[in-house]
Structure 1
Amino acid sequence: MTTPPMDPADIAASLRAAMVRELREMDAVTSESVAAALATVPRHLFAVGEPLEAAYAANSALVIKRNASGLALSSLSAAHIQAVMLEQAEIEPGMRVLEIGSGGYNAALIQELVGAAGMVVSVDIDPDIVERARTCLKTAGYDRVEVVLADAENGVPEQAPYDRIIVTAGAWDIPPEWVDQLSKVGRIVVPLRVRGRTRTIAFDRSDDVLVSRSYCLSAFVPMQGSGSFSEHIVQLAEGVVLQVDEEPQRFDVEALRQALDSPRLERWSGAAFDLPDELELFLLTNAPQVAMLHASEELVTQGHFAPSVTRGVPALISGGSFAYRTKRPNEDTGGFESGVFAHGPEAEAVAAEYVELLRRWASDHRRRGAARIQYIPKTARTSLPSRGLISKRHGAVVVSWP
């Protein structure tokens, strides 16, 4: 006797339930309301043409549209990061929510959270994505979501103010229109790029300033339109670059190229190495002149660089010398010890400065969420500090370590 095949809807429901369980185990889902939304919305209807298993994979994004060069222009974010952002947003029934960047699925989740008394507006600059989102939302039964075709840099003022703004594309800055359209006690959750890394930050509005409640490392397809940005790349040698996202810094490129060929100085901090994303944020916002150093795996294999450079590592730069972080096994520090490799005529001094930063982080800030991040618009009546300041087009990011 043969077993009749399972109904596709039953398979999808089973995979959806398994996805929610996995997200709970990953601590991406911590509230019953977000769990219920994820268990209800049929994610596979927003992943047209993808296998059910791919649609319900907890930690995999699906590319929706690419440009002629194959670069992703729009994606269905991994359920993991969508869940984290919804938990950061703390959406309540009856709220008015603006989603920056459409896809459909996340807007459907938000509609579940705000309920019949709430409102969801989703805006995107790409007409193909807007049409796709409208179609998928209608198919899934979420036709109360308003999907708007516009440059998201301007928000959607017609429906403002919003209790929550959730940005689902990588942003280099926070335009004044988003702040203006946020209610006086509103919150914006935005993947904000700072010093070469993107972190999803939940900002609460406090008068004319935004103050962080939480943040986590993330990766998103970058904004299009007037909010797009281009990173600054300084090539030092074949396979070796410095990456700077904010205002261009002046480097003595020729001297740094010569430093690459100088002997490597090695110094160890005696401090534990862990929570690399938190340590990285501390280094990027406390060093006087810093950039992300990237080098190829081939150069690492040849012994020219430590493995940390393959994904990018904060490099402290002083004239024609530089230092960057590395690690080695050390049970006395809990498994690994942080250290420094330095090159150039001032290698000793720049290494000592870097080691001091590693020790200070380990002794004073070695925990999740230690940083306080503010966004201060140019129009804000607030004085800017001298430390931890990262200038942006429309304002400044200020990172402090209480």
Structure 2
Amino acid sequence: MHTTTTSPEALRAAMVERIRKAGHAQRSEVERVLLDTPRHEFVPDADLAVTYDPWQAVVTHRFDDGRSLSCASAPWLVAAMLDQLDVQPGNRILEIGAGTGYNASLLAQLTGRADLVTTIDIDPDVTAKASQALAATGYGDVHVITGDGGHGYPDHAPYDRMIATVSPWDIPAPWWQQLAPGARLVAPLRWRGQGRSVSFTYTDGRLVSDSLHLCGFVYLRGETEGELSGPITADDKVKLHWDRDQAVDLNTLGGVLDQPRVTAWSGITIAPNEGHDGFWLRLTVTDQRVCRISAHPDAIPEVVNPIGGYWRPALVDGGSLVYLTARRLETGDDVHWELGAIGHGPAATELTEHLCDEARAWSPERDHYEPRLVIYPADIPDSELGRPVFEKTHSRFVFTYDCISE
């Protein structure tokens, strides 16, 4: 139901202006297609104000338990990923995750021919509605395929551009095989609990990144799960999430939060509007033990008291656990948050000091860093890789986080 009296065109123009001010839709062609495309026709059941809110995703399908199955991504993220993809006229494109069809319509405009765009989704209800919306808006020549996106779509390969709007833990082997030399791939990848939209160029048999954006997406269905998770409290209200190549044993961690709480403070502060994701990103390079902790609101702060936000880093070492926390500091009108660490278990004191030391090492370079992810096929030998290596099923991730001069 559309309750606002402002026209869709005016709402769309305001949306694009706000996205531009936030640093996205920097490519003029991306700005143009966002302005020209009636997003509300792809999410007809959503309120217009929500549809054209730059920061708001619109959930269109849910699992029986209420979890999001498919959605229209927030417009700022759509713009950011299209900037990353850098579509050129005549590019052949594969989209994994059909969503509402909105993104496929943007891709069709960017490449100049709808029949050069293929979008695939495992859910037939999703593809049926995407097909209807694309046909109704003039993009019926887009190829909408019902199938496992992890397999790509070889019939139209090779692709000059490939974009995933669902989050894979790995780069599936078929994707490697369906990329043209020099192709660009944009995918919201996961490693060590993080989720990042990463843009790559496919060159010399490897994928080399040139930008990363913090984000969260519905996971790629049908993928053999590489991120594991499990509760560390009897009531399941506190959970850990880790990669399968990490040494985490929930049996060893049993009752860890019942042990005394050890707290340490780093002396490092962040502004109220400054995230801690850069610290976590660096930590994935410097400490292979980093993973993610999540907690039900009922468990905060009595059981655990992690830093706010969805992304909450933790370290596990045997039967010991430490996680990032923060406390509010006020000096007159000046408000900051000091980073700290809370630990439990035999090595709690050592681990809390270690996490604070990591914050101190990160802070001087926080505005002067260059993260880069290079992905190799799984059969690449150790002698050709740097460190650290994140072991996946079909590939090996090598991540670096280097301080650069101004």
Q: Same-fold call, TM > 0.5?
A: yes
Structure 1 residue 392, shift from structure 2 partner: 1.1
Amino acid at match of 2:240: L
Distance 1:190 1:118, change over 3 A: same
Q: What is the aligned-residue RMSD (CA, Å)? A: 2.7
Which residue matches 2:282? 282
**Counterparts of 2:180 and 2:165 in 1: how far apart (Å)?**
19
Check conservation: 2:186, 2:199, Cα contact below 8 A. yes
**Counterparts of 1:248 and 1:382 in 2: how far apart (Å)?**
18
Which residue matches 2:242? 244
Which residue matches 1:95? 91
Which residue matches 1:3? none
Distance 1:140 1:10, change over 3 A: farther
Structure 1 residue 272, shift from structure 2 partner: 3.5
Structure 1 residue 369, shift from structure 2 partner: 5.9
- 1:178-197 to 2 correspondences below 5 Å: 178-197=175-194
Aligned residue pairs, count: 392
Which residue matches 2:299? 299
Structure 1 residue 18, shift from structure 2 partner: 1.7
Greater alpha carbon shift after TM alignment, 265-274 vs 60-69: 265-274
Structure 1 residue 126, shift from structure 2 partner: 1.9
Which residue matches 2:141? 144
Which residue matches 2:397? 397
Which residue matches 1:4? none
Structure 1 residue 348, shift from structure 2 partner: 2.4
Q: 2:65 is paired with a residue of what secondary structure?
A: coil
Q: TM-score, normalised by structure 1?
A: 0.88
Amino acid at match of 2:153: V
Matched, 1:15 2:11: yes
Which residue matches 2:215? 218
Check conservation: 2:369, 2:401, Cα contact below 8 A. no
- 1:35-114 to 2 correspondences below 5 Å: 35-102=31-98, 103-114=100-111
Q: Output one character per residue of 1:322-347: Cα deviation in whole Å (capped at 9) or x when no partner.
A: 22222234579993332222222322
Which residue matches 1:128? 125
Greater alpha carbon shift after TM alignment, 71-80 vs 236-245: 236-245
Structure 1 residue 234, shift from structure 2 partner: 4.0
Which residue matches 1:322? 321
Q: Which runs of 5+ in 2 are unaligned?
A: none
**Counterparts of 2:197 and 2:51 in 1: how far apart (Å)?**
23
**Counterparts of 1:309 and 1:335 in 2: how far apart (Å)?**
14
**Counterparts of 2:368 and 2:118 in 1: how far apart (Å)?**
33
Greater alpha carbon shift after TM alignment, 88-97 vs 312-321: 312-321
**Counterparts of 2:278 and 2:383 in 1: how far apart (Å)?**
26
Q: TM-score, normalised by structure 2?
A: 0.88
Q: 1:370 is paired with a residue of what secondary structure?
A: strand
Check conservation: 1:154, 1:178, Cα contact below 8 A. yes
Distance 1:284 1:259, change over 3 A: same
Amino acid at match of 1:373: L
Structure 1 residue 200, shift from structure 2 partner: 0.7
Q: Judging by fraction of residues, say which structure has more helix.
A: 1
Check conservation: 1:293, 1:309, Cα contact below 8 A. no
| Percent of aligned pairs with the same amino acid | 34
Q: 1:371 is paired with a residue of what secondary structure?
A: strand
Structure 1 residue 72, shift from structure 2 partner: 2.1
Q: Which runs of 5+ in 1 are unaligned?
A: 1-7
Amino acid at match of 1:178: W
Distance 1:290 1:230, change over 3 A: closer
